[in-house]
Structure 1
Amino acid sequence: MLCLFDLDGTLIDSELGILGCVRHALTQLGVPAPAEMRHWIGPPLRHSFAPLLDHDHERIEQAVEHYHDRFHTVGWREHTVYPGIEAMIGQLQAAGHQLAVVTSKPERHARPIIEHLPFGGAFSRLYGPDPSSPHSEKAAMIAAALTDFGAAPEQTVMIGDRHFDIDGAVANRIRGVGVLWGFGSREELEKAGAHAVAQDPQHLATLLVA
């Protein structure tokens, strides 16, 4: 089976780095940061910056550039691996599954993170959107993975914590499995059409290995 994993909120808790970079970008533009910002984790940056910057295209692009500047230097290191993830990945490898990462992070930001994970070598491919794209692109990246691996939809699963992951799965007629240790809710995942929802990494391993 081909297992496609989201990165933020699924493999790693990246809240510290992402929100630190968002605050940095807004500070550079003289805009106060919102009190509640967890919803920033998952959607494309331009989507989240737009309402705070009056949908001003030029300022949105400036904010994204400031975000990327900080993320490239320090933000990518500011994360932790969720407990149980490494063991779960090992179980999937032992079962003979193929693994890849499909993330909303630009590839240039995701690659160093994955390369530094203790289990990063388990992933044979990484899919990330073009840095200039305002869209999630999960559906297009999943479609690319299906082609690259020559995988049948019924033998492929997308695992993630937000509806963007499940939306991409539904668009490609593959199973979408939601996880509850990230930044989304059971309601969000089930509403998007999740095939199943995992409580913790061991539960996920059970769902995927069975």
Structure 2
Amino acid sequence: MKYKAVIFDLDGTLIDSLEDLADSANEALAKHGFACHPAAAYKKFVGNGVKQLIKNAVPAGTGEEIVDSILDDYRIIYNNNYVNKTKPYGNIPEMLVKLRAAGIKMAVCSNKPHRPTNEIIEKVLGKDYFEVIFGEREGVPRKPDPAALLEAAEHMGITPAEAIYLGDSGGDMISARNAGMYAAGALWGFREKEELEECGSQVLFSDPLQLVEFIDRNNS
């Protein structure tokens, strides 16, 4: 199979945003009298949208109204602090340059809210690499539902089978399989190799440039 496009997850795949996510969530939690968590704990909390992030960070059984109040504060705090420490993972900028030079189309599909997804990419990576950038949008189900991935493929004028989806979580692997795309796991991200394999990864990369090499081999 020759691949014409790569669709990326964002947090834990293209960018290391863990400290900004953790700092913002901890500030919101502390404001409401809840315990804070070490940054590493947020590797398991993120990935299914911001409301689920807050639900994961508070004690089980916390009321919905309290969760929503913390979430409101988190959104304000994070929107003012999302590029304090966030940066691309090593070799991500080089990977994007090489994929563009090879004529590979690129897109981003994230469960992070749509506006910060676009703003972070513009400030940290540059939006010119990507034909499509989707964050969580009203009326579009979150991953692992394949709707956003399939919409991105349609925008790029490719079939799902012509796309690789690269992500760092089991949910990303399920998303790729649900969309009929090739499921590639990023081992430098937030989750463990075992989770990626259990959820159906078809290839695992320990360095972003391995993705370029993989496409070169398959397309030659």
TM over 0.5: yes
Q: Give the CA deviation at 1:138.
A: 5.2
Task: Summarize deviations over 1:4-55 as a string: whole Å, max 9, x none.
Answer: 0111111111011100111011112111123433312323232233252524
Q: What residue number does 1:5 align with? A: 8
TM-score, reference length from structure 1: 0.91
Distance 2:141 2:177 in 1: 20
Q: 1:134: how far off?
A: 8.9
Q: Structure 1 residues 126, 92: closer, same or farther in 2, change over 3 A?
A: same
Unaligned runs of 5+ in 2: none
Aligned-pair distance for 1:137?
5.5
Task: Choose which of 30, 35, 54 in structure 2 pairs with 1:32.
Answer: 35
Q: Percent identity?
A: 26
Q: TM-score scaled to structure 2, two decimals?
A: 0.87
> Alpha carbons of 1:149 and 1:135: their partners in 2 closer, same or farther (altered >3 Å)?
closer
Unpaired runs of 5+ residues, structure 1, are none
**Aligned residue number for residue 97 of structure 2:** 90
Question: What is the Cα-based RMSD across aligned positions, in Å?
Answer: 2.1
Asked if residue 195 in structure 1 is aligned to residue 198 in structure 2, the reply is: no
Which residue is equivalent to 2:192?
Answer: 185
Query: What's the CA shift for 1:98?
Result: 0.5
Aligned residue pairs: how many? 210
Q: Distance in 1 between matches of 2:153 and 2:209?
A: 26
| Alpha-carbon distance between aligned partners in 2 of 1:11 and 1:190, rounded to the nearest angstrom | 20
Pair 1:171 & 2:178 matched: yes
Question: How many angstroms does 1:176 deviate by?
Answer: 1.0
Q: CA deviation at 1:132?
A: 9.5
| Structure 1 residues 179 and 140: CA distance shift in structure 2, 3 A | same
Q: For residue 200 of structure 1, what is the amino acid of its counterpart?
A: D
- From 24, 34, 40, give the equivalent of 1:21: 24
User: Is it true that 1:150 corresponds to 2:157 in the alignment?
Assistant: yes
